[in-house]
Chain A
């Protein structure tokens, strides 16, 4: 009997919330759901899955690509081959998914955000979320999928019975890649998560020389300046100002996004703001799907006119 295998993402004792989307899509796949996790106590609802497999391996070793492949060999030996192997679409989830695909020569699709079970197709985005593709697996082998955060968790349904507990014993830990420590971000001068009003600038700003004028605007509006990833990558603003999956998650009263197209990693960090206002010159920019108010136009012109009106 085939099954769906979820490889959980756990870090520092926490069962990441993103795992819920793996469980959600697993329920929609209608096969028995097995979940694999390392040694430790994780608050996984026993009525969400059919079999819980504890691997006798420490958390930090569990999420290493080679180790997870060695563990999977044991899982496959004990339980047979799954139909799908699900991971979170995250730093470690995607890293392991790629390695598993290469190691076992399996098809891989990352960043799944939808599916059509009638025709066994999965959806993933292209070109910064402007186009979606419908994918099918062309070989009858287990497929490796990473699931986008926030997409399937609503589909979780409790089952009548509690999961059966299983164990797979440890493996010979890979010595070629070794965890040393977690590195925390440096303390910042300003905590953007505490701000009520954020003005966030993105790729559309175009030039570092434009920044002082946005700082002036935030001053006039008594707002705080934040940004999306490209601005930090160019080192125009410090990492502590970055909103998004790899930066901060914010929930201000007003989030004014200027020149931000709205990659899902950014949306993940600001979608719960009370009021989102987006300024972008591309009317098809994904951010307009999440914003409450939108201005289609040049961010610099909007900035300049706002400043002019505020100075009046």
Chain B
């Protein structure tokens, strides 16, 4: 089974304080670490497991600047055979434009595949739509939030999608297809620095994004400004030394009746 995995390099912002430029046009990410999008690492791992069991090869594809080469190296270290970087120095925010580039790239460069995998969403813009748009453009069936692939048959897959409230739905989907992979489906393997170093010796292929942008597929949406979320009343912050804070906390627990 040949698999294309879409991967993206994203800033890790969960524990960072983010500063928006005064004109509201951008966020300062100069001191924020970057890595492979968390959801994509589950997608790469799932691809590697599928190929280990059923044969085939994995091509990892990214859109981004040259720095994004690092996520291809990681994908190769995890088990991908090949990495393709579609180079763009512009931030392509519109998921429609990104999906369109992937579609034209896969078709023009004739990248072989039975399945295309990607993460459910990217950590930075959280659109969660690239795989779905791509599937529709390629005329292929699509399933998102895939949390388990139970059976691989000749012409179809049996898989589970995550719904809300702990419920899943089991579906059958015909090959070839596009799937977006939910976090928690597997445990992405650990990659050592040695592994990454070895992977960097595997040749990656580089392409220019402009080649795959159609004339009529310019941005359908644009972001006009960025701003901080409106503040609510917010929490009463407990101040003091740690012992003092913890004594206040114990006081609150007693007051609320959960601690005697």
Binding site for B on A (CB under 8 A): 11, 65-66, 69, 90-92, 94-95, 97-103, 105-111, 121, 124-139, 141, 143, 174-185, 196-197, 203-204, 221-223, 229-230, 232-235, 239-240, 242, 245-249, 253-254, 261, 274-278, 281-284, 286, 288-297, 301-302, 305-306, 309-310
Q: Is the interface of B mostly helix, strand, loop or mixed?
A: mixed
5 tightest A-B CB contacts, nearest first: A98-B132, A102-B136, A107-B220, A294-B235, A102-B133
What are 5 A-B contacts with C-beta separation under 8 Å? A101-B136, A102-B136, A131-B226, A137-B220, A261-B15
Contacts of A278 in B (CB 8 A): 235
Bound-state CA distance A285–B141 (Å) is 38
Could you list 6 further interchain pairs (A-B, Cβ under 8 angstroms) beyond the known A65-B136, A98-B133, A183-B168?
A107-B96, A126-B27, A131-B20, A176-B177, A288-B237, A294-B234
Q: Is the CB of B229 within 8 A of A132?
A: yes
Produce 1/0 per residue, B144-187, CB < 8 A to A.
11000000000000101111111111111110010000011001
Contacts of B194 in A (CB 8 A): none
With A182-B169, A248-B166, A289-B234: A297-B132 Cβ-Cβ less than 8 Å: no
Contacts of B235 in A (CB 8 A): 276, 278, 288-294
Q: Is the interface of A mostly helix, strand, loop or mixed?
A: mixed
Q: Is the CB of B164 within 8 A of A91?
A: yes
Bound-state CA distance A92–B161 (Å) is 9
With A247-B166, A295-B238, A302-B245: A130-B250 Cβ-Cβ less than 8 Å: no
Q: Is the CB of A310 within 8 A of B167?
A: no
Is B36 an interface position by the 8 A CB rule? no
Contacts of A284 in B (CB 8 A): 17-18
A-B pairs with CB below 8 Å: how many? 296
Bound-state CA distance A248–B164 (Å) is 9
Contacts of A286 in B (CB 8 A): 229
Bound-state CA distance A5–B35 (Å) is 39
Is B252 an interface position by the 8 A CB rule? yes
Contacts of B220 in A (CB 8 A): 106-108, 137-139, 141, 143
Q: Is the CB of A253 within 8 A of B256?
A: yes
| Contact among B132, B164, B226 with A101 in the assembled complex (CB-CB below 8 Å) | B132
Of B58-66, B108-116, B122-130, B198-206, which stretch is located at the interface?
A: B122-130
Contacts of A221 in B (CB 8 A): 253, 258-259
